[in-house]
Amino acid sequence: MRTTKPGQSSPHTKGATTPGTPPDSPTRRSGKPHESGGALVGSGLALIAVTYGFARYAYGLFVPEFRTTFDLSETLLGVIGAGSYLGYCLAILLALVATARVGARAMAIAAGLVAVVGMSIMATAPTAGVLAVGVLVAGSSTGLASPPMGQAVAQRIPGHSQDRANAWINAGTSLGVLVSAPVAVLAAEQWRPAWLLFALFGGAVLLWNARTMPGREHPGAEVSAPGTPATRLSWRFLLNRDAVPLLVTAAGVGFASAAYWTFARDLVTQVGQMSTTAGTGFWAVIGIAGLAGGLAGDTVRRLGLGGALATSVLALALATALLAMAPAAIPLAYASAAIFGAAYILFSGIILVWSVRVYSGRPAAGIGAGFLMIALGQSLGAPTAGYLAGATSMPVAFVVFAGIAVLFLAFGPRRTAPSAEAPRRFLRRCWASRRRG
């Protein structure tokens, strides 16, 4: 592996470099010291908690209450829930272009603002139509949040730590899911104050990100991965040969996960006859277990991309099928929640790491593309699950969606080694052992 000596220009980059600065140093890429890396990860994790854990996924936590308040069927609940994912798809297209132009800080502020507005609309919705608008607006915040996180990490975090930083920021989804559960318990069946409290949390996190996120590097320029020249954004770039398995897998497993995110709590309370408190505890378990998804970067390094992906998707399918078979058995239902929470956040973290690798010339665009396909799949999966549940039953729908998740493992990545250096390290260890012997 060729290295660059201090004071020399990398063969992959142009222009002068700072003498004595390592190639993956954040000071080389951003011109700023790595003093705010911890604050950046913390504020980014909090923003993902608000946008994903509250604005996007907490809809599923309150589906039983929405059903009662607005007299909604499974099909309508699925259609309204799909609005969150549709909003993401629309917003991410804007964010893919705007992040490089206005910088991570401006986009993070926009994401927080949109989340606050959307959740406020939901909290005050007088009709199901207004609720649907609020869900759409709130869900859009997630599309605005993901690309600037990738951009900020590329600017401020050293290359060897970026997978871990991205994975922990992504685990903010679980933190949001976890926090939303006790809020729901405190609000009892009064769901409107809960959503107002979510909006207040969102406002505080917005201010935090305004202080910690890096601004625009250069007008119109996106930061690329260390040693990789920035690439012009185009359809040819987004749909390159290595990207097709990523995009298909993200969409397919996203589709399969929509049943759980939208209807899991409804399944355990309506079919399983769990109490409100037990059902909320079930949701909290998803969030607690999902924090393990912050280890996605380390999991990829240990199992390889293909091995980590297979582990997460099979676990997700197992959790979905298990809940379908035992929605009334609290131990099994909680076990399903734990498996799903860890598996889904691990899966999304793997998609994040995979995206950055495939789109190393445009990491923010790559993360946006991968997460766009997850949301696109979910936007189709939620109403499909609702329709299937209405036509058959909720447990049948869950079993079908578990099978769909497994099918999309066929589109996994070709390379499963943790890195290209792994075989070389293995041979070096064997040679050293032989010499010692």
For the stretch 164-174, pLDDT in tens is: 787 788 788 88
Asked if residue 323 lies in contact with residue 183, where contact means CB atoms within 8 angstroms, the answer is no
Note the pLDDT of residue 235: 67
- Separation CA 386–CA 74 (nearest Å): 5
What are 70-101's pLDDT values in tens digits? Answer: 999 999 999 999 999 899 889 988 887 888 78
Note the pLDDT of residue 159: 73
Asked whether the predicted pLDDT for residue 141 surpasses 90, the reply is yes
Asked whether the predicted pLDDT for residue 351 surpasses 50, the reply is yes
Looking at 3.60.15.10, 1.20.1250.20, 3.40.640.10, 3.40.50.300, the CATH number of the domain 36-215+235-414 comes to 1.20.1250.20
Lowest mean pLDDT among 205-219, 243-257, 261-275, 343-357: 205-219
What are 39-69's pLDDT values in tens digits? Answer: 889 999 999 999 999 999 899 999 989 999 9
DSSP string, 362-412: SHHHHHHHHHHHHHHHHHHHHHHHHHHHHHS-HHHHHHHHHHHHHHGGGG-
Note the pLDDT of residue 217: 62
* Most trustworthy range by pLDDT among 8-17, 376-385, 420-429: 376-385
> Which residues is 218 bridged to in the sheet?
221
Asked whether the predicted pLDDT for residue 12 surpasses 50, the reply is no
Distant-in-sequence, close-in-space partners of 11: CB < 8 Å, separation ≥ 6: 2, 4
3-state secondary structure of 273: coil
Asked whether the predicted pLDDT for residue 385 surpasses 80, the reply is yes
Distant-in-sequence, close-in-space partners of 339: CB < 8 Å, separation ≥ 6: 289, 315, 316, 318, 319, 322
- Mean pLDDT value of segment 344-363: 84
- The mean pLDDT of the chain is 81
- Separation CA 32–CA 221 (nearest Å): 17
- Separation CA 371–CA 177 (nearest Å): 18
Q: How confident is the model at residue 27 (pLDDT cuts 50, 70, 90)?
A: very low
Note the pLDDT of residue 233: 60
Note the pLDDT of residue 30: 40
